[in-house]
């Protein structure tokens, strides 16, 4: 099965590297939830295309780009060359020189150019791991189509255009999947889900569930099941990769904060006072972010308990490992013709599981439901 990557950054590169190393038998598939249980094997995944808008990456091989992030890069990545994607302000305010297809083309033309490239390479699953965007959702399909057709470059973000292009592409080739691992609402935007249904596109999204957020979900489920009353939750995150740098931008940060906070309410049923956000950027921390949580709750007879959780978590591998499942599940959904979006998949893998009307549930339970959707025996149910 053939995969295209949008955004050859840290996540995109660790995904590429780890995948090849597993295929080479160099490492165990740790961090890949369903590893070798799915009918489609990890060995079947093939990266065939990569797109970026960072001038210093376009035209380079994926191998060369990966070398910036990791030492032991498999040779097989020398065959894929990073192509120019759609930019639309994605890297605005970041210390990176950018260029995009839309610099010289209308949005419609840029979309067609992408589709052409995907057809040529036989792409089946498109993985979106671009820089976090500041965006406005559409909700209305007609409005979305109009924005693209009328070339309203200020109204749309790169991810929205990519998802639109994926719809058009799926319609033409008879089926494809778009994995939206970033906060921009796609699986939670009715405009896209509707268009996808009509177009034979599978969408998974939004925002890959890694790090402190899904752990918090399970920890508060644990408290909630014992009817312990949460007084407050504090969650700090600080990291040194470009994603944290991008999040110092207030507008982008809001996209993340929203996703992270909604989980709490979804699970508890009430919204305890909380302070949950990606808090800062500090370069030498690198990709191994530092998280710190403080939770105070009321136990039986009014007793006050406190949990303090600290962690050092490698940010990019966490998402990259999930992607190894998601591309395969995407292919399975295409085969089953479950177009639109699939809540059972999103509920486990995404911070903000689409569709919009569906809520977060405890991850530990979402896992069992996912297994059943994937045709596997639940582990403990």
Ligand X SMILES: NC(=O)c1ccc[n+]([C@@H]2O[C@H](COP(=O)([O-])OP(=O)(O)OC[C@H]3O[C@@H](n4cnc5c(N)ncnc54)[C@H](O)[C@@H]3O)[C@@H](O)[C@H]2O)c1
Query: Which residues contact ligand X by CB under 6 A?
Result: 6-12, 51-54, 57, 85-87, 90-91, 129-132, 158, 181-183, 207-208, 210-211, 241-243, 315-316, 318-319
Cβ atoms of residues 86 and 158 within 8 Å: yes
From the list ligand X, its own copies, Mg ion, none, which binds 130 (C-beta under 5 to 8 Å, kind-based)?
Answer: ligand X
Based on CB atoms, which residue is closest to ligand X, 223 or 339?
223
Give the position of tokens 């990073």: 82
3: part of which helix (H) or strand (E)?
strand 2-6
284's contact among ligand X, Mg ion, its own copies, none, with CB below 5 to 8 A by partner kind, is its own copies
| Positions 276 through 305 that interact with Mg ion (CB under 5 A) | none
Measured CA to CA, the distance from residue 337 to residue 344 in angstroms comes to: 15
Q: Which residues between 155 and 214 bind Mg ion (CB under 5 A)?
A: 188
Positions 224 through 263 that interact with its own copies (CB under 8 A): 225-229, 231-232, 234, 236, 238
In angstroms, give the least distance from the CB of 316 to ligand X.
5
Interacting positions 279-308 with its own copies (CB under 8 A): 279-285, 288, 290, 292, 294, 296, 298-308
Cα 268 to its chain centre, rounded Å, is 24
**CB-nearer residue toward Mg ion: 186 or 323:** 186
Q: Which of 133, 367, 373, 374 binds its own copies (CB under 8 A)?
A: 367
In the list Mg ion, ligand X, its own copies, none, the entry touching 105 (Cβ below 5 to 8 angstroms by class) is none
Q: Please, what is the minimum distance in Å from the beta carbon of residue 240 to Mg ion?
A: 30
In angstroms, rounded to a whole number, what is the distance separating the alpha carbons of residues 50 and 8?
Answer: 7
* Token couple for 343: 């809540």
Decide whether 21 or 331 has the Cβ nearer to its own copies: 21
Judged by CB under 5 A, the residue of 89, 228, 265, 358 near Mg ion is 358
Q: Which residues contact 212 (CB under 8 A, 6 or more apart)?
A: 235, 237, 291, 293, 309, 311, 313
Q: What is the nearest approach in angstroms of ligand X to the Cβ of residue 234? A: 19
Which does residue 7 touch among ligand X, Mg ion, its own copies, none (CB within 5 to 8 A, set by kind)?
ligand X
Q: Using CB distances below 5 to 8 A depending on partner kind, what does residue 185 bind out of ligand X, Mg ion, its own copies, none?
A: none
Cβ-based nearer residue to ligand X, 132 or 199: 132
Among its own copies, ligand X, Mg ion, none, the one that 362 touches (CB under a kind-dependent 5 to 8 A) is its own copies
CA distance 371 to 378: 6
Distance, in Å, from the CA atom of 272 to the CA atom of 25, rounded to the nearest integer, reads 46
Binding to its own copies, residues 21-60 (CB under 8 A): 21, 27-35
- CA dist., res. 117 & res. 50, Å (int): 10
Residue 247 tokens read as 């999040």
- Tell me the residue ranges of DSSP E strands in the chain: 2-6, 46-52, 82-84, 125-128, 176-180, 201-204, 229-239, 274-281, 288-298, 304-314, 340-341
Q: Work out what residue 52 binds among ligand X, Mg ion, its own copies, none; the CB cut-off runs from 5 to 8 Å by kind.
A: ligand X
Q: Which of Mg ion, ligand X, its own copies, none does 358 bind, CB closer than 5 to 8 A by kind?
A: Mg ion
173, 119 contact by CB (below 8 A): yes
Rounded distance between C-alpha atoms, residue 22 and residue 31, angstroms = 11
Token couple for 239: 């990291």
Q: Whose Cβ is closer to ligand X: residue 175's or residue 189's?
A: 189
Bridge-based pairing state of the strands 46-52 and 82-84: parallel
Evaluate whether 118 touches 112 at the Cβ level (below 8 Å): no
């Amino acid at each position: 099965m053939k995969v295209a990557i949008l955004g050859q950054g840290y996540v995109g590169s660790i995904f590429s590297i780890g995948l090849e190393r597993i295929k080479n038998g160099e490492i165990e598939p740790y961090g890949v939830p369903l590893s070798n249980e799915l009918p489609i094997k990890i060995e079947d995944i093939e990266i065939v295309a990569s797109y970026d808008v960072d001038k210093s990456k376009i035209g380079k091989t994926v191998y060369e780009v990966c070398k910036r992030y990791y030492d032991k890069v498999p040779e097989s990545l020398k065959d894929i060359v990073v192509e120019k994607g759609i930019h639309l302000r994605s890297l605005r305010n970041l210390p990176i020189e950018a260029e995009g297809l839309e610099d010289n083309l209308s949005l419609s033309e840029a979309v067609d150019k992408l589709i052409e490239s995907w057809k040529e390479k036989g792409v089946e699953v498109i993985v979106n791991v671009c820089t976090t965007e500041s965006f406005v959702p559409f909700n209305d399909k007609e409005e979305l189509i109009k924005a693209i057709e009328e070339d309203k470059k200020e109204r749309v973000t790169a991810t929205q255009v990519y998802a639109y292009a994926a719809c058009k592409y799926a319609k033409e080739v008879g089926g494809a999947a778009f994995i939206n691992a970033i906060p921009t609402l796609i699986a939670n935007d009715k405009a896209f889900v509707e268009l996808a249904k009509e177009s034979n596109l599978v969408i998974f999204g939004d925002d890959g569930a890694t790090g402190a957020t899904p752990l918090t979900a399970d920890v508060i489920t644990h408290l909630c099941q014992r009817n312990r009353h949460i007084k407050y939750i504090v969650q700090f995150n600080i990291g040194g990769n470009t994603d944290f740098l991008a999040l110092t931008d207030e507008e982008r940060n809001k996209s993340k904060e929203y996703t992270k906070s909604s989980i709490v309410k979804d699970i508890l049923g009430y919204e305890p006072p909380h302070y949950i956000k990606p808090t800062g950027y500090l370069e030498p921390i690198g990709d191994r972010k530092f998280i710190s949580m403080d939770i105070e709750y009321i136990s039986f007879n009014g007793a006050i308990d406190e949990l303090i959780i600290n962690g050092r978590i490698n940010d990019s591998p966490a998402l990259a490992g999930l992607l190894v499942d998601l591309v395969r599940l995407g292919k399975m959904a295409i085969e089953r013709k479950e177009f639109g979006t699939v809540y059972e998949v999103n509920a486990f893998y995404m911070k903000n599981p689409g569709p919009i009307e569906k809520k977060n549930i405890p991850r530990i339970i979402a896992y069992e439901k996912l297994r059943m959707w994937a045709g596997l025996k639940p582990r403990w149910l």
